[in-house]
Amino acid sequence: MPKYREDIRNIAIIAHVDHGKTSLVDVMLKQSHVFRENQEVGELIMDRNALEREKGITILAKNTAVLYRDHKINIIDTPGHADFSGEVERVLNMAEGCLLLVDSTDGPMPQTRFVLQQALEKKLKPIVVVTKMDRPTRRIKEVLSMTQDLFLELATDDFQLDYPVIYSSSRDGFAVSDPDTAGTDLVPLFECILREIPPPEIEDGPLQMLVSNLDYSSHKGRIAIGRIRRGAVSPRDSVVVINSTGENKRYQINEVFTHLGLARQEVDRADAGDIIAVTGLDAVNIGETIASPERPEALPGITIGEPTVKMTFGVNTSPLAGREGKYCTSRQIRARLYRELETNISLRVEDTDSPDVFLVSGRGELHLSVLVETLRREGYEVELSKPEAITRTVDGQVMEPMEALTIDTAEECIGELTEMLAKRKGRMTNLHHDGNGNVRLEYHIPTRGLIGFRSSFLTATRGRGVMNTLFLHYEPWQGEVGSSRSGVLVASQSGTAVTYGLNNAQERGLTFIDPMTEVYEGMIVGLHARGSDLAVNVCKEKKMTNIRSSTSDISVRLTPPIKLSLEESLDFVEDDELVEVTPKNLRLRKKLLSAHDRKRSEK
């Protein structure tokens, strides 16, 4: 007869990006009174990482907990972006149920399908929460119908089709079971969780726990997070860590923590069913089992989908290398990349033939660019190649990753987008008009066709479009993808850019730099108006004559330069170019800096 911990519920909150997961967790925390009355907590409480707040997305899965009617509800907030789906895959095994959030206007989106499929395969009990009920554009009937179709397609058990539906608005702080009634608080949601989500099943016997997440503290060292499947654990207990090959290593637990609100609370004992954090295990990794030495039995490991995009990280070799970063050597970069593998299990790092270059593979451009931005803020200097799709060879045939692309935009953008996607080997699978001038386009497209597409997409839709992607499967090579980028303006001399030189360059295209920017030969300073690359001297000054002084160009008005972000820079570069990343600057450059070397390589 199985035993259960009736005082605990473990739930994961899953949804497509921007469907309100973190906002709902905010309201749950505030209404469960885990904060003091006068405590300033702000918005998006769980997104504590600076990058998460800047980008407005959740990047890392996080644990919190609330108390409601003598029950502890452990909550796992997960990312919604497809590039961080590895975070979702590894934390779902800590939960018995999930809240699937669906936007009351958008309905299920590509990532909704992925996270729901993951949850249903792990036999989680779902509760559907229709969010953003305060929106005037809500269309509840259609959204519920689309959600039902999704469940019918993905459910693996009959009980998963019998799901309750809650309607909520995080902005107004309410949840109701009937969309036509007014709500005042989240009590209906809390009651539904206690009623519908099964309590954790527990086993008698010595300790057994799977590590699902890692944290790090400069004071406490590595912190292992997971759910106790069997037994109990206390500080100073002896345990063994069992790795993927079955090897055992003995440790002593230093501290045991449980979660409540944003804090970790130190406890003298944690029992089966609790989601805990423990310290004292210096070399533990995600997917390993912490067990009692009496019965060192391993739990099934965590399986994660394979990466689809790769690019090289190398030591900065430009003439300006080492001036702006603290960590510039191959030894420092290699150590940091391999340290990232401990917590970022969707990532792969390989050494290459060159000791100064490392091949890094991830789930998408955003996944890799977040890693680069993190390194940059820590003081690293690196040189990046253009992202490439990872191909496989099956029975002598080259296979490449395909993605589902969903675009919501205005009707007048259809023509231009269709033409762009056709060049990138995209196949339209669906076109839906909403009757108000908006359309949804659905495509199957090679991953390499999406590299560099985002910036062109924003230009084509004039900022009025939203695109989402999701990895589907591998298909045979789709043929060459046409490039829509024109040539570039390349600095022909090293020095400091001046207004006169930049003004001459702007007659031939668009520039990327301001006057007084230090440049070097081979650095990309702009976009050429034609298809070929052009060498320009942006350091050229106007010489003094007996008619005009050399400072007369002060009155020249330059067109403001285009400033590319990190993601845009990675989209922009071609195979013979690199992105130089330092804590202070992003520079684009040719792999071969000398014009003579570039001409010789073309021959």
Task: Pick out the residues of the known binding site for GTP.
Answer: 18-23
Q: Identify each DSSP E strand in 58-190 by its residue range.
A: 62-68, 71-77, 97-103, 125-131, 165-169, 174-176
The structure tokens listed for 227 are 């759910």
Q: Which residue ranges are tagged as binding site?
A: 18-23
Structure tokens at 503: 């003004």
> Which residues are 126's β-sheet partners?
98
What is the Rg, in whole angstroms, of the alpha carbon atoms belonging to the chain? 27
Longest dimension (CA), the chain: 102
CB-count burial class (<10 Å; 0-12, 13-18, 19+) for 595? middle
Cα(50)–Cα(80) distance, rounded to whole angstroms?
A: 17
Give the DSSP letter string of 511-543: E---TT-EE-TTEEEEEESSSS-EEE-TTPPPP
**In terms of DSSP H, where are the helices of 462-507?**
499-506
**Do residues 181 and 144 lie in contact, with contact meaning Cβ atoms separated by under 8 Å?**
no
Give the C-alpha separation, 426 to 420, whole Å. Answer: 9
Which H helix or E strand runs over 33? none
- Which residues, in sequence order, are CB contacts of 74 under 8 Å at separation 6+? 8, 9, 10, 11, 63, 64, 65, 94, 95, 259, 274, 275
Helices (H), 92-228: 110-121, 140-154, 187-196
Neighbouring CB atoms inside 10 A of 547's CB total: 6
Between strands 357-362 and 348-351, the pairing is antiparallel
Nearest residue to 147 (alpha-carbon basis) of 133, 134, 128, 164:
128
User: Residues 204, 210, 216, 221: is their CA dihedral positive or negative?
Assistant: positive
Q: Is the dihedral of CA 350, 356, 362, 367 positive or negative?
A: positive
For 357, counting Cβ atoms within 10 Å of its Cβ (0-12 exposed, 13-18 middle, 19+ buried), the class is middle
Exposure of 603 in the CB half-sphere (CA atoms within 13 A): 6
Residue type for 182, please? A
E strands along 267-391, which residues?
A: 270-271, 275-279, 289-291, 309-314, 348-351, 357-362, 382-384, 388-389
What are the residues facing 215 on neighbouring strands? 223
Take residue 564 and report the two structure tokens written for it.
């590319």
Structure token pair of residue 275: 């989601």
**What residues form DSSP beta bridges with 91?**
none
58's CB contacts (< 8 A; 6+ apart) are 21, 22, 46, 47, 52, 77, 78, 79, 80, 81, 84
DSSP letter assigned to residue 27: H
If 0-12 CB within 10 Å is exposed, 13-18 middle and 19+ buried, where does residue 211 land?
buried
